């Protein structure tokens, strides 16, 4: 029996545009998925029931990709709501890969991140490596098309190449607001792709998100939270123009801004969650609750993929 856990994530800047090779910044958060895999008997089970390839696409793809032929007994335990933009699919994928690819406890992060990306790409029909790299590495991660300081690994797909970098965790207080609207990443990524492929305007918006991410990276380095917040608001507006916001996200972002440096949707959008950075987390949590959302006062974590005792 092997048990691995991997953290969820929040994207501070750059979701969707990162699929087209633009930069993005994400933080690993202190809510995790635990995955425990041992040899099964006649059939592969997940939490006691036969695996369902439709419903358990990520786990099925992990098994397919790692080429395991014998039945498995898989048990999962999640501290992350699914479809909430907090990276539950990536954390599940990465922790399951940890169980199946560990070589006597020895894990090569770059290999897990690369395989995790392939799993997400295959299940969603398109993806970037931001979620799986953050869940594997922990801390904060920046993807870019250029090698910057603290380079970790490179992930390629077709003509695209993402350089993954370690970033130290910025000193910010985060509040996540879950709208309660379950949103699947694959169809949202596809929606943006349709727009992007047909319209120069959408391509300009994606380019502009890339510029905002680079400015956001500088502001984080300077610990200039006013500027970080301003850029988050701008990033949110650009994502809304791409068509992936939702009335519930608009309501939570708008209400949170009163007590925040800035707020934006985080992850795929279409519902899911928003994120605010603030000095007054309990006030932000309160307004999120008043607008019908569920606040999570998450903290960032250094701990990426980890073998549990």
Contact footprint for ligand MEV (CB under 6 A): 11, 15-16, 18-19, 127-128, 130-131, 185, 189, 267-268
Nearest CB to ligand MEV, comparing residues 81 and 267: 267
Beta strands 45-46 and 306-307, pairing class: unpaired
Closest approach, Cβ 100 to ligand MEV, in A, equals: 22
CA–CA distance, 230 with 226 (Å, rounded to integer): 6
Nearest CB to ligand MEV, comparing residues 244 and 285: 244
CA–CA distance, 280 with 217 (Å, rounded to integer): 23
Confirm whether 103 is a catalytic residue. no
Closest approach, Cβ 143 to ligand MEV, in A, equals: 9
Nearest CB to ligand MEV, comparing residues 18 and 274: 18
Closest approach, Cβ 268 to ligand MEV, in A, equals: 4
Beta strands 72-78 and 45-46, pairing class: parallel
CA 62 distance to own-chain centroid: 18
Nearest CB to ligand MEV, comparing residues 74 and 138: 138
Closest approach, Cβ 203 to ligand MEV, in A, equals: 16
From 42, 52, 131, 302, active-site residue: 131
- Residue recorded with tokens 């390629």: 156
Active-site positions?
A: 131
């Amino acid at each position: 029996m092997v048990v691995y856990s991997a953290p969820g994530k929040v994207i501070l800047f750059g979701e969707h545009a990162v699929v087209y090779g633009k930069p993005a910044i994400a933080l690993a958060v202190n809510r995790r998925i635990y995955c425990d895999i041992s040899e099964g008997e006649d059939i592969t089970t997940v939490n006691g029931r036969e695996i369902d390839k439709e419903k358990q696409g990520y786990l099925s793809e992990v098994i397919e990709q790692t080429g395991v032929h014998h039945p498995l007994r898989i048990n999962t335990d999640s501290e992350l709501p699914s479809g909430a933009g907090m990276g539950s699919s990536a954390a599940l994928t990465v922790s399951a890969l940890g169980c199946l690819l560990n070589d006597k406890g020895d894990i090569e992060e770059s290999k897990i991140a690369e395989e995790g990306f392939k799993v997400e790409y295959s299940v969603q029909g398109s993806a970037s490596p931001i979620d799986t790299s953050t869940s594997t590495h922990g801390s904060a991660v920046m993807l870019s098309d250029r090698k910057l300081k603290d380079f970790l690994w490179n992930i390629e797909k077709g003509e695209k190449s993402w350089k993954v970098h370690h970033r130290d965790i910025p000193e910010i207080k985060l509040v996540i607001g879950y709208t309660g609207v379950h949103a699947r990443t694959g169809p949202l990524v596809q929606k943006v792709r349709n727009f992007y492929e047909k319209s120069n305007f959408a391509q300009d918006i994606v380019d502009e998100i890339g510029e905002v991410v680079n400015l956001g990276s500088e502001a984080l380095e300077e610990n200039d939270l006013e500027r970080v917040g301003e850029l988050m608001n701008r990033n949110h507006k650009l994502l809304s123009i791409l068509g992936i916001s939702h009335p519930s996200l608009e309501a939570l972002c708008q209400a949170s801004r009163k007590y925040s440096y800035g707020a934006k949707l985080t992850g795929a959008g279409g519902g899911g969650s928003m994120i605010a950075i603030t000095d007054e987390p309990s006030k932000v949590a309160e307004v999120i609750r008043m607008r019908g959302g569920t606040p999570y006062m998450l903290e960032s974590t250094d701990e990426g993929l980890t073998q549990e005792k």
